[in-house]
Structure 1
Amino acid sequence: MDTPKKIGILGGTFDPPHLGHLKLATRFAKVLHLDALLLIPSSEPWQKNSGITPAELRLKLTEAAGIDLARAFLYLKIPTQIGVDRIEIDRAGPSYAIDTAKALRERFGPKVSLTWLMGADSLLNLPFWNSWDQLLGFVNFVVASRPHHALSVEMSPEIETLLVNHQCTDPDTLEKSPFGRIYVDNSLSVDLSSTDLRNQLKSTSRSAVASEHIPSHALEIITNLGLYK
């Protein structure tokens, strides 16, 4: 891989990865003209309960979803290269975004544009993240609107101040900024969550839910191993 200049970061539990993740990745790879996109499954997500699928299994599911994403990029002629990164799985202890952001900034250097991809729900919860107020010193944020998570209604004073100081209205700004900017995209509305999906997979309509919401390669692993029953 040539040294990328614009890198997107999509972190998460990916338990399981779903089409919402792929839609978000596709939208922002295109809008931000990303050279590379890193999918980063967390090892020990500090915000989640202990009932999550083991990290190595979730890594396999993420890699499988990455194959479907790569096919979608090929079909849509999006030149972004996709990587699945073990950085959080290989790091001991809870997976904090700040540690990942610092490590990636050190890996890629000061001039590369690093942009953290997230849904509006994550932005609203940002004040509960570890050292959240330091993140924009290492990365940009690009935020996708989510149904039932209206920024204008639910925003805390901290996030309001953050947007006043860092929000830009043109996604091209992120291409030119290594870190420190926020772009909110209201054109994408993904109403899927891994938590809801896990609950639905325990229902009698499991097969219909799975085929509709889970990428095919990841679904093959889920089916073969009998996960989420």
Structure 2
Amino acid sequence: MSTTQRIGILGGTFDPPHVGHLKLATHFAETLQLDELLLIPSGEPWQKGSGITPAEIRFQLTEAAAKDLARVFLYLKIPTRIGVDRIEIERAGPSYTIDTAKALRERFGPKASLIWLTGADSLIQLPTWHSWRDLFQYINFAVASRPHYDLNAGLSTEIQELLKAHQIMDSVALEKQPSGLIYIDESLSVDLSSTELRKRLKTPARSQIESEAISSHTLQIITNLGLYQ
């Protein structure tokens, strides 16, 4: 058994959190045997433009999603602890991942493996993130493949070099190194597009897609507050 603490971090706008997020969280909690999973709604998502749902509402939606995720973990006997963290909401200014990574490294100490969970589309866009090269001093990445994103073709030179320097093929390595690694998991292909979901929620087909795409506690808040109409 590994004695290294393994902390999974699933950050995002969560506008709204949906079943794709929960599938990704469940998959990595199980396969990476995470000790803890943090869901971190962004405070000011600087790359998302205008029209974002207020942070406090998105936090409520994420807490609701965490309740449903806890049910899934209980059913599957996944012992990972789940937390919803206000770290980006309480920090003033744009929500930069680098600031969150530094703060979490300080919180959990130098030996914990901090694993940022994300989809292949985010990996491709990584060079657009603020101080992105510095992230590897603080965190590892676990990346799930996504429909329509081929990581074997059309990668920028920066990403090709990044993978050459940091990619590992065996997730066990994440237990032994606190930061600096990229693990790509092609066994799960999950759609994480909240943008497309919001568009669908504004169509007459809204009632048909809600239950398949959004977990029950989150859907209840969306319905009660009349969001995404």
Which residue of 2 is the match for residue 118 of structure 1?
118
Which residue of 1 is the match for residue 7 of structure 2?
7
Which residue of 2 is the match for residue 49 of structure 1?
49
Which residue of 2 is the match for residue 22 of structure 1?
22
Q: Distance in 1 between matches of 2:116 and 2:217?
A: 25
Check the 8 A contact 1:119/1:145 in 2, yes or no.
yes
TM-score normalised according to structure 1 size: 0.97
Instruction: Give the unaligned 5+ runs of structure 1.
Output: none
For residue 194 of structure 1, report the CA deviation from its aligned partner: 0.2
Q: Which runs of structure 2 are paired with 1:19-168 in the superposition (5 Å)?
A: 19-168=19-168
Q: Tell me which amino acid in the other structure corresponds to 2:105.
A: R
Q: Tell me which amino acid in the other structure corresponds to 2:43.
A: S
Q: Distance in 2 between matches of 1:74 and 1:224?
A: 27
Instruction: Give the unaligned 5+ runs of structure 2.
Output: none
TM-score normalised according to structure 2 size: 0.97
- Matched residue SS, 1:152: coil
For residue 191 of structure 1, report the CA deviation from its aligned partner: 2.4
Percent identical = 70
Which residue of 2 is the match for residue 187 of structure 1?
187
Q: Tell me which amino acid in the other structure corresponds to 1:148.
A: H
Which residue of 1 is the match for residue 173 of structure 2?
173
Q: Tell me which amino acid in the other structure corresponds to 1:105.
A: R
Q: Distance in 2 between matches of 1:51 and 1:8?
A: 29
Cα-to-partner distance string for 1:1-22 (whole Å, 9 max, x where unaligned): xx98110000000000000000
Q: Tell me which amino acid in the other structure corresponds to 1:198.
A: R
**Count of paired positions:** 227
Call closer, same or farther: CA 1:206–1:129 in 2, change over 3 Å: same
Q: CA RMSD in A?
A: 1.1
Moved over 6 A (4+): none
Q: Distance in 1 between matches of 2:39 and 2:112?
A: 17
Q: Tell me which amino acid in the other structure corresponds to 1:155.
A: L
Q: Tell me which amino acid in the other structure corresponds to 2:100.
A: T
